[in-house]
Structure 1
Amino acid sequence: CVVYLPAGVTELIVWWLEYDYGISPKFVCTPIPPEADPSCYSPPSVPHGPSSNGNSNSHNGSNRRGMMSDEAKATILHLRESLVRQKETILDQRETIRELTAKLTLCEGFGGHHSTGHHDSRFDVTVCEKQFSVCLQARNSSSSYSSSLRELLQRKISALEEQLHSYYQDHHDYGHHNDHHGDHHDDHHMNDLGLNAVLSISTGNHKKLKSPSAFMLDFPMRTNYMYARMKRSVVNEIFALTICLWLKAGAGPGLGTPFSYAVAGQANELVLVEWGSNPMELLINDKAATLPITMTDGKWHHVCVTWSTRDGVWEAYQDGVKKGTGQNLSAWHSIRPGGVFILGQEQDTMGGRFDITQSFMGELADLQFWSRVLTAGEISRQATCGGHLVGDIMSWSEESVELHGGLSELPFDPCH
């Protein structure tokens, strides 16, 4: 619009009007010559900076647009963070689903086998107790899985409880009608003990182990996600060592990898492995020595390996007896500190990239790690329960082992 002023006053043209969310209209006035036609006059370009008279309206508008831009950026960052958290949650739930699937497979393996005969049931109850405890641990091992998975697992456990009660009732009735009830009294007593143990577990009445070290780790199948990590690592360089543990091999071929220690730049810093049909090997700094140890009878065995950087001398013991010795195994090398010590998996990188074909299958207990070479007498006493030394680098306890992938922890004492 054009404002005509009285004679003698310069005519002004108001050419710009802007409303900004409740802000008062802003007028910019430009002088024009008296002889110019206002209807044909084109005003100059709009200045972008503040006016010479200190007007800050344009500056305020820029500030508001900047504030809106900052808010948009903050919103975008918030959405991105939410997306990352959702992805992490999905990955955690996938891992939980794999754990529960493995445990349900074990539970269903028991549920599908129901004896109809009247043979000695002590073994069946033992298997039942073990499988049932695995199922219950699966139910309580994670709080992040969905309610539908929880309900599914609860139904499976309830079905197993019903089968167990039915199984016990059948054998109880059979015992009352058998004339030779004296011969079956011990069997039913064992059934009572087994059933009570399972029911006490199902109601949450877990009994504490007698000793923090009286447990074993059960690896029921080969996986690339089931493992244990020793919370304590190697702090200083090691120039000599002894590692002892109890092992029980699962179904072959090969024992797999009972333990592996990896450091930055060397995944095979210290490894005990039996891969496929190959013999057991001790790897130090990716150099291997073949150990004359066999574990194919499905029984518990005490295994020790020693090594010294001096000439790379090594020894291998099974059940307290020296089975072999050698030298030039990474001579004058030192075991480097700051690595990751894993039970049940071979590491291709420090702390990860597990290979299912090299994973451990069986049971493992009482791993002790010393920074010296134990004598033959000390190792023999360890194997025959004549004494129990505790490793100065790593020792076996519930507090020192971190379980992953649904790994089961069961009571075990090799000397009782």
Structure 2
Amino acid sequence: MSATLPPLAGKLGGLRSSAIRDLLKLTARPEVIGLAGGLPDAELMPRERLAVAADNALRGTGCLQYTESPGWAPLRAVLADRESVRLGRAVDVAEVFVTHGSQQALSLLAEVLLEPGALVVVEDPAYVGALQVFRAAGARIVAVPLDGAGMRVDVLKDLLARGERPALVHTVSNFHNPGGVTQSPARRRELAELAAAHGFWVIEDDPYGELWFDRPAPEPVATYSPNVIRLSSASKIISPTLRVGWMVAPDPVCRAVELLKQGADLCGSALTQQIATELLADETWLTSHVDSVRHAYGERAKTLVHELRTRFGDRVRCTDATGGMFVWVDFTDGTDTELLLPGALAAGVAYVPGSAFAVDGDYRHSMRLCFTTSDAATLTAAVDRLARAAGE
């Protein structure tokens, strides 16, 4: 007996799978050096320290039960203390909300802050996870380009002058994914001032801010205005498996998010939140651990940039990786990175074409490279394979 299934929601028609996730399925072969994924290095994750914290949590029964929807209270207290230092002001626990990774925070905020058709301003090239969230919310998306100092706030000002009224602006302010750049202090202040003057929200997405190499990232955009909601995560500094992210937002926003989270998953994992609490509260250990991750990533970033510039010369421009996980590369000779990709895969190296991150621009001559999961020798080999595929 055959039957016609009922239709799915119409909003799914505007969604598409992440090109990056689809690409990772094609690059799982062990002989391919993967520069495509945005993954932290599992070899640098603190397995022994995680095991100790897990054992400590499992000595009681509380970690086996449901926990509060906004997050386990001791974790929120630890995060409030950390964010107080970061923001240079006292952050109340009521302003801290724990989510299943910062991506869930972004998704819940889209439901809380956006009506269908609302204007959302994003950076171009854009973080793909944000595009998926805002498209699912039925938002109208307008892009503002990046340059070496981050979001072009002057272009945003022009949009406002033309009468556009965004509900929110999304920015990856530190070590941008995919652009690799960091927003300047002056632009951060100006963005916050515009949000206050025109009454829109800013979502400052900051999973990479602690992964600086030579000097700390500038003060957060959230330092300058209560209109800025700050997102961060333990995924990049400890481990993604914890699925512990958080936001710092005014209390009314947190309470609205709480209502939606109760409908989505009731609460997060008490076990992983208790593990994260112990690790984030152990400041001496955490400082040492993050320093070691910074050192490893910094050396890898320098190797990748050096090899690209040495092997390709003026044929490419690439960002100076001062932190984070990514290098953005532009070919100056018209090389189409989508057309190059099959040859690169055949040569044994994978990257993400720039078009995967495009909103207005096509970025067909660009690519994003992730340096975190390969050592210096492997990165050198990867650039060699890429150069051969590109005819160098």
Q: Tell me which interval the TM-score lies in, with the shorter structure as reference length.
A: under 0.3
Which protein is bigger by CA-based radius of gyration?
A: 1
Q: Which has the higher strand share?
A: 1
TM-score (norm 2): 0.25
